[in-house]
Amino acid sequence: MKKIAVFTSGGDAPGMNACIRAVVRTGLYFGMEVYGVYRGYEGLIKDDFEKLASKSVSNIIQKGGTFLHSARSERFRTKEGRALAYKNLTARGIDGIVAIGGDGTFTGANVFMNEYPDISIVGCPGTIDNDLFGTDYTIGYLTAVNTAMNAIDNIKDTAGAHDRLFFVEVMGRDAGFIALRSGIATGAEAIMVPETSTDKAVLMEFLENNYQKKKSSGIVIVAEGDESGGAKELAEMVQEKYPKYDIRVTILGHVQRGGRPTCLERVNASRMGLEAVKALMNGQKGVMIGMVNAQITYTPFNKATKHHLDVNKSLLEMVEILS
């Protein structure tokens, strides 16, 4: 393999830059030409490629976002869009791709490789949600959970000062990893995640018996994908039942997607980028690089995206005991 491309796709995540840098420098180290593609699959279709040198990725390891930009491409869902992408790749003689992204990225990669088997794609998991099977950790998650934790710490200060109950919504469309970890780390009173059904009656009882008697302020963490509808809906329901509570809602939103990646994030993202290039060199395709117990793993795309990842039930139990 002599020419490879790298892109980021889907929601950006801190650490993506470190991963791109590793892909570029590993490719160059092994004598390849490396192309960056701007805005993921959109760039493949629009022929938005740039040949990268080692210097192109200098001074990006510490930055959030992605210097290659990211997008979710509707056109890549069509046969015509994928045909254009193939034409642009083959015109340059590129036959290997490192795709950094989440489930949508890998689903698209699978469809593409079925149509064009002469192109090999290896993935690196890039999403703050940590919702891919086959890895303990996705690029962006460690930083996002720390960002959420720091923000919730701040909220706790003001909650205590005013004896208020806060409902804080964190990101996680289908997964409660950010909610669970940031909630435990901040000593939240309750944590609502999509993986378990929210028993509203239990929450009410807890708030009445526990929070009201023992505490003057409190924090309930709600993952955005929780079936309750989110922090606002849950807060309204509680407020209606207990008008005496002084309730506020904070939705952390995209603040969790940015920021400087943590140390471990940079190291892990670099390692996965390097391993992705090595995997391509060894003839692998259609797999996502992962890390399980600090060891590198290879998970087929359809397994990485389709298998449901359970939240750690013992952590949920811990919340009950410690709150």
Active site residues: 129
Q: Which is nearer to ligand F6P, 129 or 275 (CB)?
A: 129
Nearest distance from residue 74's CB to ligand F6P, in Å?
13
- What amino acid is encoded at 82 in this protein? R
Q: Which is nearer to ligand F6P, 218 or 230 (CB)?
A: 230
Q: Which of 138, 119, 229 is nearest to 181 (CA)?
A: 138
Q: Which is nearer to ligand F6P, 211 or 301 (CB)?
A: 301
Nearest distance from residue 131's CB to ligand F6P, in Å?
8
Q: Count Cβ atoms within 10 A of the Cβ of residue 274 and give its class: 0-12 exposed, 13-18 middle, 19 or more buried.
A: buried
Nearest distance from residue 127's CB to ligand F6P, in Å?
5
Nearest distance from residue 132's CB to ligand F6P, in Å?
11
Residue for token pair 């892909």: 23
Q: Which is nearer to ligand F6P, 159 or 179 (CB)?
A: 179
Q: For binding to ligand F6P (CB under 6 A), which residues are involved?
A: 11, 102, 127-129, 171-173, 224, 257
Query: Which 3-state string (H, E, C) describes the chain?
Result: CCEEEEEECCCCCCCHHHHHHHHHHHHHHCCCEEEEECCHHHHHHHCCEEEECHHHHCCCCCCCCCCCCCCCCCHHHCHHHHHHHHHHHHHHCCCEEEEEECHHHHHHHHHHHHHCCCCEEEEEEECCCCCCCCCCCCECHHHHHHHHHHHHHHHHHHHHHHCCEEEEEECCCCCCHHHHHHHHHCCCCEEECCCCCCCHHHHHHHHHHHHHHHCCCEEEEEECCCCCCCHHHHHHHHHHHCCCCCEEEEECHHHHHCCCCCHHHHHHHHHHHHHHHHHHHCCCCCEEEEEECCEEEEEEHHHHHHCCCCCCHHHHHHHHHHC
Q: Which is nearer to ligand F6P, 128 or 165 (CB)?
A: 128
Q: Which is nearer to ligand F6P, 61 or 179 (CB)?
A: 179
Nearest distance from residue 258's CB to ligand F6P, in Å?
11
Nearest distance from residue 211's CB to ligand F6P, in Å?
27
